[in-house]
Structure formats: structure tokens, C-alpha cells
Amino acid sequence: MGLEERKAGLSWVLIKDALRTMQRVLSAFPKNTVPPFSQKALTIPEQDKLKMQIGSRKKVSFSWAQAVQITEHIRSMDGLGDSRREQYSTAILLASASGLRCGELLALKGNDIDFKASTIRVDESSDQRNGGKIGPCKNVTAYRTVYLGDAQGRMAMERLKQFLEQHPGPSDALIFHSKRGAPLLQTTVVNQGLYLALEALGLKKAGLHAFRRGCNRRWELAGIVPAVIRQQMGHSSATMTRLYTGEIPPEDVASAFSKKFGNRIVVLENMENEAAA
């Protein structure tokens, strides 16, 4: 599988996704069954690899400012009840501030939050492909304690605290859940709240993972040590952390230069203009 499908007009991304799906299906069979294929044997031409890498750098990533816009819009949506408006907006703001994976976010319980220390403990994950079933995390590095010590983190923690005060429950109960107490599904959040907000605000359509990417970028641009970012994100390698940064928007590049050099850039430009005159 691979070359023939590529000639048929399918993208390599679609082919790889199809292979992943087939592997998940086959995983239900006995472990001693030898898979009839492997992604390692998938030969992708270098030109197509380059296109895939460029596409990966351009994946949607929501900034903190955009997250605030989105959550405020959701809180004003008439089509949702008060409970869902507050639940969806709080979850999205926390996702942007913490960089948690969707499954980790939706598996959080009251006793995972330490408001005094400004930390979130991650030791479970919600399997979104299996009805939100709560189980183990993605990998060993996913088990971690995330520190929300920046201004964005403190704002999200304060919003979460208010939400829990308005919707009290047992400390071992899920924070984000359905009316019956079942794990909340990402599809519910995005279809009922996020996608509608993105359309209204003129932002690109993306799921909750775009907030995780945005958080990774925010921490990196703020100058947080790479090893700390990797631990905060729960990445298994430094390569993955770098990939999450993606293509930095021009306005963020300009802001980074401004913070680093201040008005020295303007002074140099004025000197060059005077010399040219």
C-alpha cells in the first residue's frame, strides 16, 4: 500500500491516516498476530515529504488572545444553556493556558487541581475514540504536574475556580462532564461551541489541539527553557516540542524583536534614513 494509492490521487497524509486506522482495528486481534503491513515500509518521495513537513508547520495554532476571544464569544451564545456555555469556555481557556491534550483535559477531576500551588496533575486520559473512557495517559512522559505560573495560567485557574464554585461536586468527580456525569467528548465541545465561535470570529476551523500548539509556542517565545516546556507539554522528545512551534506569525516575530532590542531598531532605521537623505 502506498505508491498505487498515491498515483490514484490520494495524499500521503490520507494514506498514513488510513494505515493508522487499520492498525487500530487490527490491534483488537490477538497480540501474536503479525500485522500484514507496517508504516515503516511506507516509502514517501522526498518532495512529498517536504510538502508534508511544510503543511505540518502551517497547522492551526490559536494564541492566548484568540482563545480569550473564542471563550468570550461562547459565553455570549444564545443557543447554549448557561451550564454548557461556562463549561465549554472554561475548558477552552484552560486548554490554551495549560497545553493539555484533549484527553487529559477532559479527564481532569477536582482533586487534580491545586489552586494554591497553581498546578494541575495529569495522571489519566479520556479515550475520545472509545466514548471518553477514562484510562492511562498516552505515554510515560504524559504523567506530569503542569505549573500555571504565568499571567495566562493564573487567569485560567481563576476562571476554573469560579466554575467549580458555581458547579460544586465531589473531589473525585470529573470537572467537565455530560448531564449524566459521563466524560465530556471533544466532538460535543467543538460542534456545539468551538466551531460556531470560530466561524463567527472569522478564524480557521480547528479542534482543541490547536490551543495546545498555541500554548507551546507562547512558552517558547516567552523564553522558557526547552526542557521545561517539554516536561510541561508531556512530550517524549525535544523534536516533538520543536515541531509544535510551527510557523510563527509575522506579528509574533516583530514582537519578539521588539522585546529583545526595544527602540534600537527604530533608532537604526532613522539613522539609515538620515544618511540616505
Instruction: Write the pLDDT tens digit of every residue in 178-202.
Output: 988 899 999 999 999 999 999 999 9
The label of the residue with cell 468527580 reads 173
- pLDDT reported for residue 190: 96
pLDDT exceeds 60 at position 4: no
The radius of gyration of the chain from alpha carbons, rounded to an integer in Å, stands at 22
At a CB cut-off of 8 Å and minimum separation 6, what does 137 contact? 104, 122, 123, 124, 125, 143, 234
28 pLDDT exceeds 80?
no
Is the pLDDT at 141 greater than 90, yes or no?
Answer: yes
The secondary structure of residue 122, as a DSSP letter, is E
Residues 6+ apart with CB under 8 A from 173: 109, 110, 181
Instruction: Categorize the per-residue pLDDT at 1 as very low, low, confident or very high, splitting at 50, 70 and 90.
Output: very low
Burial 254-264 (b: 16+ CB within 10 A, else e): eeeeeeeeeee
Give residue 110's pLDDT.
96
For 173: left if phi > 0, alpha if psi spans -120 to 50, otherwise beta; the answer is: beta
- CA gap 133, 107 in Å, rounded: 9
> What proportion of the chain, given as a percentage, has pLDDT over 70?
73
CA distance 110 to 211: 22
Neighbour tally for 106: CB within 10 Å: 28
pLDDT tens track for 90-133: 999 999 999 999 999 999 999 999 999 999 999 999 998 898 99
Q: What is the DSSP string of 57-118?
A: HTS----HHHHHHHHHHHHT-TTS-HHHHHHHHHHHHHHHHH---HHHHTT-BGGGEETTTT
Report residue 86's pLDDT band, with 50, 70 and 90 as the boundaries.
very high
For residues 12-25, give the mean pLDDT.
63
What pLDDT is stored for residue 166 in this prediction?
93
Q: Which of 20-24, 74-78, 223-227 has the lowest mean pLDDT?
A: 20-24
What's the pTM value of the predicted model, to 2 decimals?
Answer: 0.76
Q: What is the pLDDT of residue 179?
A: 87
Say what percent of the chain tops pLDDT 90.
57
